[in-house]
Amino acid sequence: MTGPDVPGKPAPIAPDESPDRAPLPPGLATCPVIAILRRLPAHAVLPLARTLLGSGLRVLELTVDSPDALSLISTLRDQLPELTVGAGTVLDTVTARAAVSAGAGFLVSPHTDRELLDFARYTGVALIPGAATASEAVTAWKGGAAAVKLFPASLLGVPMLDALRDPLPSIRFIAVGGIDAANAADFIAHGCVAVGVGSWLVGRGDPDSARQRAGLLMSTLGPSRP
């Protein structure tokens, strides 16, 4: 018989895999990078996604504040089935429901929101909520988050990641915000399961520039993968 919780004893953090925790996109095991496309011209998205896929990236986040975001998520899902496409900047359950209906394979939010966590658990979709403190990270993880987005990562820095992971080693972190080829490998080496890379990688949507930067990013991450 299980007794009551001991007063003053912290509840254990949920294990890495729980029945309510959706898995991360499998492509992150091959390349631990989420390419983030935010507010690019709609006509640039598909050619850019093809370029990123050809460069070895397998996971892409299209923010819902982008032009024609929902229709583009459906198009990317249909035309590039090797790519897992998620919806980013999801702020509420109405948007989350629309994104999932459009075919989003995962959801990303800049904050930790209990309603979004409940929605993700109910639908089985992977949610990656943002957190900048231990309290937010624990709330997100106990709520069933697939991973916790350390945001804004470049401002919080690797020392903050280390400070969070020391007492919370089972939480999966993804560093997002100001990530580029100069710091991505450090975040991976210090325990992040992936990084999200946006403006540095994709700029304004030029495929040639994105191809060059993706190659540079992949070369820096090669020896640093877990």
Q: Any idea which residues carry the catalytic annotation?
A: 61, 149
Residue 216 belongs to some domain of the structure: yes
Residue 166 belongs to some domain of the structure: yes
Q: Which of 209, 212, 172, 226 is nearest to 18 (CA)?
A: 172
Length of the chain: 226
Question: 66 vs 24, 93, 117, 158, CA distance in Å?
Answer: 23, 18, 23, 30
Residue 145 belongs to some domain of the structure: yes
Number of domains composing the chain = 1
Residue range of the domain that includes 121: 42-224
Residue 26 belongs to some domain of the structure: no
Domain containing 133 — which CATH number?
Answer: 3.20.20.70
Residue pLDDT tens, the chain, 226 long: 334 333 333 334 444 555 578 999 999 999 999 999 999 999 999 999 999 999 999 999 999 999 999 999 999 999 999 999 999 999 999 999 999 999 999 999 999 999 999 999 999 999 999 999 999 999 999 999 999 999 999 999 999 999 999 999 999 999 999 999 999 999 999 999 999 999 999 999 999 999 999 999 999 998 544 4
pTM of the entire structure?
Answer: 0.91
Residue 192 belongs to some domain of the structure: yes
What is the sign of the dihedral through the CA atoms of 174, 73, 44 and 63?
negative
